[in-house]
Amino acid sequence: MRVTVEAQEDFLERLSGRGRPATAIAELIWNGLDADADRISIGIRRNLLGVIESIRVADDGHGMTLSQAEEAFSHLGGSWKQKREKTLERRRLLHGKDGKGRFRAFGLGGRVTWTSISGGEDARELVTVSGSAEDLRHFEISDPIPTVESRGTVVEVIEVWDDVPELESDRIREELAEVLALYLREYPAVQIVYLDQLIDPDFLEGRVSTVELDPVVIDGEVVDDVAITIVEWSEPTSRSL
């Protein structure tokens, strides 16, 4: 099945954010977290010459059904997340709501495949979605295949761009730690593993303090447990608030 994204090609190219690998990887991580993943691992594979052949992001979230894949890959905006504040199963705070995250993957390479397994203990199905940077308005979606494998989604990026900065640098890991710090503090059971190393924002946090605030009224209801968490970074960072 082929689906068409209702958006212009040049707009989608700008969304891909080529040249910003940490941003692309972070968006793929957020997609997994929004799917209630407890563990997300990011890895790379090199050929005999040491050139990166593929980038792989795997999560153990609830995956995508065929209908969910059709909706997600044929619309920009109008995501199901816009109607919710928390995830479907674990009731965590949602991150993305515009459906832009999947296009960030093309900032890493020319071809991307999503392999997703969804369903319950008794019946699970596997769906594959593939796309190319040469034609960002179209995605190919496979028919569902019954499977007994565990739920989750694997995103594989191939034809990795030559100008992608060194993915094994400490700076990439630090950028991910900055982006994910508050989420990981809120949900400490979540594990993000980047190139076999657990992302731990503690090494960037010089001091953390929480300020309790007075109750506020939201949508006519009084909310008592209001607080601001303030993080003082131990290293220079672009994230100020």
Tell me, what CATH number does 107's domain have? 3.30.565.10
Domain identity same for 64 and 142: yes
| CA 124 – CA 238 distance, rounded (Å) | 42
| CA 241 – CA 220 distance, rounded (Å) | 27
Residue, of 212 and 166, whose pLDDT is higher: 212
Residue 158's pLDDT is: 95
In a domain, 83, yes or no: yes
Hey, what are 28's tokens? 């793929």
- 59: domain range? 2-167
Hey, what are 128's tokens? 């594959």
Reported as a pLDDT band with limits 50, 70 and 90, residue 81 is low
| CA 27 – CA 29 distance, rounded (Å) | 5
Domain identity same for 207 and 140: no
pLDDT tens profile 167-225: 888 888 888 998 898 899 889 999 999 999 999 888 777 788 889 999 999 888 899 88
Scanning 135-196, the segments in alpha helix (DSSP H) are 170-186
Domain identity same for 139 and 225: no
Hey, what are 75's tokens? 């619309």
How many residues comprise the chain?
241
Measured distance between the N- and C-terminal CA atoms of the chain, rounded to whole angstroms: 43
In a domain, 215, yes or no: yes
Q: Residues 223, 216: contact at Cβ < 8 Å?
A: yes
Q: Residues 106, 18: contact at Cβ < 8 Å?
A: yes
**Residue (of 73, 139, 72, 136) closest to 110 by Cα position:** 136
Domain identity same for 14 and 117: yes
Hey, what are 70's tokens? 């059709």
Q: How many CB atoms lie within 10 A of CB 74?
A: 18
Amino acid identity for residue 200 in this structure: D
Percent of the chain whose pLDDT exceeds 90: 46
Hey, what are 209's tokens? 């303090």
pLDDT tens profile 40-72: 999 999 989 888 999 999 999 999 999 999 988
Domain identity same for 51 and 97: yes
Domain identity same for 37 and 94: yes
In a domain, 192, yes or no: no
| CA 103 – CA 131 distance, rounded (Å) | 10
Q: Which residue has the tokens 């495949």?
A: 113
* Cα atoms in the Cβ-side hemisphere of radius 13 Å centred on 29: 26
What three-state secondary structure class fits 119? strand
Domain identity same for 34 and 99: yes
Mean pLDDT of 78-94: 75
Residue, of 83 and 3, whose pLDDT is higher: 3
In a domain, 113, yes or no: yes
Domain identity same for 43 and 158: yes
